[in-house]
Chains A and B, each alone.
Chain A
Amino acid sequence: MRFSDNGFYVEKYVKCANCGLLVYGPGIQTEGSRDIYCSDWCVEWAGLKAKGDPEPRLPIVPPRLPIEEAMAARVTERPPADPVMMNILDSTMVSICREMGILLMKTSYSTIFNEGLDFTCALADAKGDMIACAEFCPTMIGGMPILIKTCAQEIDFSTLEPGDVIVHNDPYRGGLHCPEHTFFKPIFADGALLGFAVCIGHIAEIGGMVPGAFCGEATEIFHEGMRVPPVKIRKAGKDVEEVWKLLLANCRTPRQNYGDLMAMIGSVDLGVDRVGQIVEKYGADVFRDTCEDLMDYSERRMRAELDAFPDGVYGFEDVIENDGIERKPYTVAIDLHIQGDEVVADYRRSSPQARGPVNATLGVATGAVYNGILHVTDPSIPKNSGCFRPIRVVSPPGLVVNVDYPGPLVAGNTETHPRLANIVIGAMSRCVPTRAMASESCTGTNFVFGGEHPDYDEYFACYDIMSGGWGGRHEHDGNDCVIAINGNCRFNPTEVFETRFPLRVETFEMMPDSGGAGRWRGGLGFRRELVVTQVPITASQCSDRHEVRPFALFGGAEGGNGGTMVKKAGSEAWSTVCELYGKTSSSKYANVRFDPGDRVLLWTPGGGGYGDPAERDPGAIAEDVAEGYVSAEAASRLYGWSGKA
């Protein structure tokens, strides 16, 4: 990374040519090449791959940022691990994170926070390693370690004071996408930095080209809203007014954003207080040592899981239908190299980065590998940086899985992340078939809109998520209408939606036959029909899977597509936004105006099927027909069902 002399701006974003991490300092260069690498391991791995070695084996050497080098020098002998203390501290820290999350949920303003729960609260140590988190949003859990460590390169932790609060959202500095704001506040014990209380949350409206951030036609990061490098929004407990004013001047809904930002600060304040209480009780040394013990413990658990998988290279691919700018598909590909109790996840077979917003940052790509692996391993492993140590992600720069500045990327976190997590699971299906799932919907649908609220005399912006079908799994059909695995969000109840926004919901129903056929079929998607009522709205969408269906496994059928259709007031015909507004893609578009009386029909994909439909239990088919999950016609066509409807 090359900064200006005074550090005010970045002159050049420098990334490792192999794994894609930001490189601070000179890095490593090889003869005859201008490529820069972060480590010898990356030079070697890139070399093995370049030679075409089909099964390279290279024990992982974890990447080390300068902050970790500095902290490593300070490592001292630890007393033997105390299992009782580990038990107590782990459950107490998870409870603190949960309490932070409850405060955020109860005090925030955006529905994406308080109904959607699109946030995560965590604790980190002084190296930026995550030591505990609560079960909120998984993308953010996987993204957190890179995020804090990247911030540490720009904010000298030794200058932090009690009461400082740092805000950051820059996707090019370890972030996920611009709406995802990270707040962290240092925790001190006896004058020394002990760690951080962290919360990451999705702020619905952040300025940029469209209300609600999801600009389906963005071609640069600047279209996607305000970018905030790590800066202090509070210094020693006092608001930095200039930062507040800058932030709130650059969005369409300042009152709402102020409420959300206050809630996030309230959450990290609480985390710092609570950790202070436990440190007071057990002592800072015990706290530090036990956190290390806990990370070592999670690492052991993860290694034991990986060790049980047969060694080998397992690859999988999927296709993103277009980027909103050109009608051209993008491949996302993964190769999982399982070597003993470690795994290298290599994305290099993926397509070059797109012009439109489907690109992922390294934080997203890394988090997606973690997410996929966590889905096929024991869910009870404590989630901290330790469990990620045996996993090395390789995501070379300039690809759709590691976008270079200033490419757009807002859909990377919500659309590309689940696609990546699902190909990781797909690759694992070739290694441990009974633990895998066929593709889920993999989309949040991301239909966003804004306008002038007739009742409150202020601008409103809405980001609400929709959920689709899970894929079929060994022994179980896919669940119906469950959020894609990058998040764990809830959508707005109709009664909340209509109270908050001047629109009406006309239908809210499942889509029969949208689940891919299989021995265990995919779950169903659902559709929602909206009517614009009192005022015009400006709408955008950043979605996928309108053309490329969710993949099946082991002989099942693909799941149903998602879609968006519009019926203008006075018209009887449903049309796509391509037909009505000349847009390139029906799943990705920006700033379409809908007037009172216009109707928008949005539907979500169903999941892929698992296993041969011919092997499906006849009783399950009959029940599907009786309950209307599968039509009688489809049941006879796909399953050879001969019963009466």
Chain B
Amino acid sequence: MRYLLGIDVGGTFTDFVAYDAMQRDVKVWKVPSTPTDPINGILNGIHSALSPDTISLVRLGTTVATNAVLERKGGTVAYVTTRGFRDVPFIQRGNRKAHYDMSWVKPKPLVKRRHCFEVTERIDAYGKEIVPLDEAEVARIADRIAADPEIEAVAVCFLFSYLDPAHETRAKAILAERLGADMPISTSFEVLPKWKEYERASTTLADAYLKPVVSRQLRAMRDRLDGEGVGAPVVVIKSNGGEMTLGAAAEAPVNLVMSGPTGGVIASRYLAELTGIDNLVTLDMGGTSTDVATVLGQQESFTTNFEIEWGVPIQIPMLDIRTIGAGGGSIAWIDKGGMLRVGPHSAGARPGPACYGFGGTDATVTDANVVLGRIDPDNFLNGTMKLDKAAAERAVGAVAEAIGQSVEATALAIVQIANNNMVSALRSVLIERGLDPRDFTLATFGGAGPPHAAELMGEIGIPRAIVPPHPGQFSAYGFIVTNARVDRQRTTQLTSRRFDAARASQILEDLVADAVDELKAQDFTENLVVHRALAMRYLGQNYELELSIEPADLSPERAAGLWAAFHKAHEARFGFAIPGETIEIVNYLATVVSIGDKPAFPKLAEGDGPPEPVGRRSVVFASGREEAPVYRREALLAGQTIGGPAIVEEAASVTIVAPGQHLDVDQFGSLHIAAHTNA
């Protein structure tokens, strides 16, 4: 038996999915996480279910980089930059986090001001050298860095290096020569060759800041695994959802800052492929927070707008995942104007919702779901944990008294307001990006997500929802279906007035070659798929639209078609175009993916007739109270249909079907919810 093992290290649980390609068998399990040393949780989980020598490959999402930047526990970095500009990371962009909040403290960069050094050199806005690099000065800086035992890594960021990296490359060579191979050095051209010096500097600093800690921890993990007999290769998942080897990760750790939450999105992309659904919006709802993302045309959506905290950007392309502080543990409260609010404060795991019986007295979303009969207090986590319905009613009752409503109406209001918070997050990834919810299917997972799907669909106008198998471990699923992926981007401006097709072509093909080299260096040589795009705008605008192109589109004859395509895309996205206007190409983007083998998941047997409910219970829906049949998910078979109202229960979650909706079971066991066509 040879297992491909996917591991998702969460805050509370570490989830495992093992796939045996020969037997087409999938195992799913979880163990408590060990936050002080996550490797313990990983090893506990492996030993609890598998023999180490049966594992062929381990893929995992890692929070090493995420935690290091969020908790500010990275290395001590020296910053080397153009003379006159050492304060760029401190001055930042001049704006502030929120209006009217005088208690706000501007974030510090990932470097101390005393560790910043200036070098005489200058490239201008045309990419021309106007002041040569003072190499002796770089050498003197190297000596000062060498003399400071605190410094563990170096970041180099010169102005306009995205146009000509020669000075950065040379400075790196001088620094490396004098500091030795053990001193990690990140240059802005290698990390993010795009314009806007603050954003590039911040990203480059993050890479250098992470190098010492990430390489140390990845090495420690490899050693521990080897020591415990897990000799299989290990790959980690990048923030863009692609896999990379441990060696490559240590060289470019900035790629790992959003590794952890990618699993759910990758799994959703695969779900889209399996089910043939083009567009998914994902809702991964846990106890304290909810992640929202989109899959468009069976591809994940990407962003370069990540910030480790407000104002400190890391602009590496990564999966576009929005996190909001709304989950099952979110607390309902009354504000000073008498308005009922839900979250962002959460009861967390301890004391947790009032119904957990750990002494919590605040009403949470989970308590409201218990009061409404949507969650069965006797059947939570397969009945391993009894919930205290009376405590839930007391907690919701206190809120009800304050707003002068019945307990039931208040519970309903709590759920609706929590849903509204999630609708706001869904709006931000759909409507605010010009996407129409009617073209989407809502994929809900995480333990707390599926109970909310039925009502969220109606609130935001998404016609269909899907609950995948094992929604509680769905993120770990993602890690057994990843590909290797490298994204490359570069800024060089060219306009439609004087378009140099050969130059544009050359830039793009260089990026593609770079990306292919990076994959080959990690032995990802099979099934390479190349994607090219241009980021374009009207001359004068400051934000770009990305248009996918083929190499042939960059021939002089076909350039007119390129401009026409931009006008059309502008009209589609923003509602207007400016015909005849000069168009500027700003960024060149290349992505190369090495498509890995995908597991063939087991299929369910075909059902013969409707499923049998295991019981009935009284549930409050937005439309009123109804007796709803209760089904066990394990008993459902492919092709079966259930009319709402209904409840489907399983180990880690519960799915609600509202009146007027029905649920279909597909061949892989996913549950599809939709409104009756005539409802």
Contacts and interface: CB of A to CB of B under 8 A. Distances in A.
Partners in one complex: yes
Interface of A: 83-84, 86-88, 91-92, 95, 98-99, 102-103, 105-111, 114-115, 117, 135, 138, 141, 255-256, 258-259, 262, 265-266, 269-270, 274, 297-298, 300-301, 304-305, 371, 374-381, 425, 435-437, 456, 465-467, 473, 475-476, 479-483, 488-491, 493-496, 498-499, 504-510, 523, 526, 529, 626-629
B417 interface: yes
B574 A99 contact: no
B90 A510 contact: yes
A304 B337 contact: yes
Given A105-B542, A508-B85, A627-B114, 12 more contacts: A87-B341, A88-B420, A91-B421, A106-B541, A107-B538, A266-B574, A473-B103, A479-B104, A489-B94, A489-B95, A493-B199, A495-B196
Nearest to B93: A490
A627 B575 contact: no
B92 A481 contact: yes
Nearest to B493: A499
B541 A102 contact: no
B630 to A, nearest CB: 28
Contact of B431 (A99, A496, A629): A99
Contacts of A626: 114
Interface string B316-351: 000000000000000000011111110000000000
Given A106-B574, A479-B106, A480-B91, A493 B98 contact: no
B42 to A, nearest CB: 39
A138 B100 contact: yes
B169 interface: no
Given A482-B96, A510-B87, A498 B196 contact: no
A627 B113 contact: yes
16 contacts: A88-B459, A91-B423, A106-B541, A107-B570, A109-B538, A111-B542, A114-B542, A301-B335, A301-B337, A480-B90, A482-B94, A493-B195, A494-B159, A495-B159, A504-B124, A509-B86
Interface string B536-578: 0011111100000000000000000000000000100011101
A29 B322 CA distance: 59
Contacts of B94: 465-467, 481-483, 489-491
Given A300-B338, A491-B94, A498-B124, A437 B87 contact: no
B196 A526 contact: no
A509 B84 contact: yes
A371 B99 CA distance: 9
Nearest to A304: B336
A484 to B, nearest CB: 10
Interface string B390-427: 00000000000001000000000100110011011001
Interface string B576-613: 10100100000000000000000000000000000000
Nearest to A110: B540
B198 interface: yes
B540 A491 contact: no
Contact of A494 (B105, B197, B199, B421): B197
B378 interface: no
A379 B106 contact: no
Secondary structure of the B side of the interface? loop
Contacts of B539: 456
Contact of A488 (B84, B87, B96): B96
Contacts of B103: 473, 475-476
B40 to A, nearest CB: 37
A87 B98 contact: no
Nearest to A302: B337
Contacts of A106: 541-543, 574
Interface string B516-547: 00000000000000000000001111110000
Top 6 closest pairs, chain A to chain B, by CB: A109-B540, A114-B542, A507-B84, A467-B94, A479-B106, A106-B543
Contacts of A526: 87, 91
Interface in B110-135: 112-114, 124-125
A509 B95 CA distance: 16
B501 interface: no
A262 B125 contact: no
Nearest to B161: A495
A495 B95 contact: no
B427 A92 contact: yes
A601 B575 CA distance: 42
B576 A266 contact: yes
B31 to A, nearest CB: 38
B574 A84 contact: no
A480 B416 contact: no
Contacts of B578: 258-259, 262
B147 interface: no
Nearest to B101: A379
B22 interface: no
Given A99-B431, A378-B336, A508-B85, A135 B105 contact: no
B109 to A, nearest CB: 12
A318 B493 CA distance: 47
Nearest to B199: A493
B196 A256 contact: no
Contacts of B125: 495, 498-499
A259 B95 contact: no
Contacts of A114: 541-543
A256 B581 CA distance: 11
Contacts of B105: 476, 479
A256 B112 contact: no
Contacts of A627: 112-114
B369 to A, nearest CB: 16
B56 interface: no
Contacts of A83: 339-340, 403, 413, 417
B79 interface: no
B541 A86 contact: no
Contacts of A304: 336-337
Contacts of A510: 87, 90-91
A374 B98 CA distance: 12
B196 A375 contact: no
B551 to A, nearest CB: 27
Contacts of A465: 94
B339 A297 contact: yes
A435 B113 CA distance: 30
B84 A506 contact: yes
B337 A300 contact: yes
B167 to A, nearest CB: 15
Contact of B574 (A107, A111, A138, A629): A107
B432 interface: yes
B413 A483 contact: no
Nearest to B421: A91
A495 B100 CA distance: 30
Nearest to B162: A495
Residue from B403, B413, B540 whose CB has the most chain A CB atoms within 10 Å? B540
B440 to A, nearest CB: 16
A498 B93 CA distance: 16
Contacts of A376: 102
B409 to A, nearest CB: 10
A266 B431 contact: no
Contact of B160 (A297, A301, A435, A495): A495
Nearest to A491: B94
A84 B420 contact: yes
A255 B541 CA distance: 12
B88 interface: yes
Contacts of A274: 431
B101 A509 contact: no
A609 to B, nearest CB: 15
Interface string B58-100: 0000000000000000000000000011111011111110111
Contact of A95 (B339, B403, B424): B424
B173 to A, nearest CB: 24
Nearest to B542: A114
A305 B337 CA distance: 10
Residue from A374, A475, A479, A496 whose CB has the most chain B CB atoms within 10 Å? A479
